[in-house]
Amino acid sequence: MINNELDIPKVNILLKTFALWFLAFSGWKAEGDLHLLPKKFVAILAPHTSNWDLIFILGVIFALGLKVNWFGKKEAFRWPLGGIFKRLGGIPIERSAHKNMVQQTVELIRAQERVVVGIAPEGTRSNAKYWKTGFYHIAHQAAVPIVFAFLDYGRKVGGLGQQMVTTGDIEEDMNVIRAYYKGVTAKFPESVGEMVIKPH
């Protein structure tokens, strides 16, 4: 059952101001025009090689004023923290053999007027041999675009870049993704994988 009362949390001025200060203090800046973004999309972050990635991407998100949702186990949304998590944009996911994460996420996206799902396809900070393909199947089945989020440690710039509408040909679409991230410098370049999917 989908809760239609779920909403995206508002980024208040204080949080945005703090994020802008944090990025400036760290020598970073945020890039991206929210007016060019669709109401619903899947954002992928790559390459992911450090715990700092989460800190800086949150700084970028709040600095841009982007409103986001995140997904967690249904059990984590029980009292007393459940209400707080939902106010912070949390959406409970029920893990079972009958409903996998992709299917549930697709249904939740379809039920929302505005939603952003953020995913790190590598699934690990280490050198990932293969990318997890859940992000692609979610975007394709929900008929929403994929937006390329990035953290370029070489330029100290993070943001939201190119958008891509999936074609259904994942191999061909991965070529587009690889081409985009080719020029992005990770925190630890030696830990960057090949950005390929596991062969069937």
* pLDDT digit string, tens, across residues 57-109: 889 988 998 877 766 667 878 888 788 777 666 777 776 644 688 888 899 89
In this predicted structure, the answer to whether residue 5 has a pLDDT above a threshold of 70 is no
Q: Classify residue 195: in a domain, yes or no.
A: no
Number of domains in the chain: 1
Evaluate whether residue 79 is within a structural domain. Answer: yes
CB crowding 171-181: b at 16 or more within 10 Å, else e: eebbeebeebb
In a domain, 112, yes or no: yes
Q: Is residue 65 part of a domain?
A: yes
* Tens digit of each residue's pLDDT (9 = 90 or more) over 13-46: 888 899 999 999 999 999 999 889 999 999 999 8
3-class DSSP state for residue 118?
A: strand
Q: Is the pTM of this model over 0.85?
A: no
Rounded to whole angstroms, how far apart are CA atoms 165 and 167? 6
Q: 8 lies in a domain? A: no
CB-CB contact of 56 with 158 (8 Å)? yes
Residue 198 carries which DSSP code? P
Highest averaged pLDDT of the listed ranges 47-61, 64-78, 118-132, 133-147:
133-147
> If 0-12 CB within 10 Å is exposed, 13-18 middle and 19+ buried, where does residue 98 land?
exposed
Give CA angle at 50 (103, 91), nearest 5°: 30
Q: Which region among 75-89, 91-105, 127-141, 150-164 has the lowest average model confidence (pLDDT)?
A: 91-105
**6 within domain boundaries:** no
Range of the domain at 110: 13-189
pLDDT band at 132 (very low <50, low <70, confident <90, very high): confident
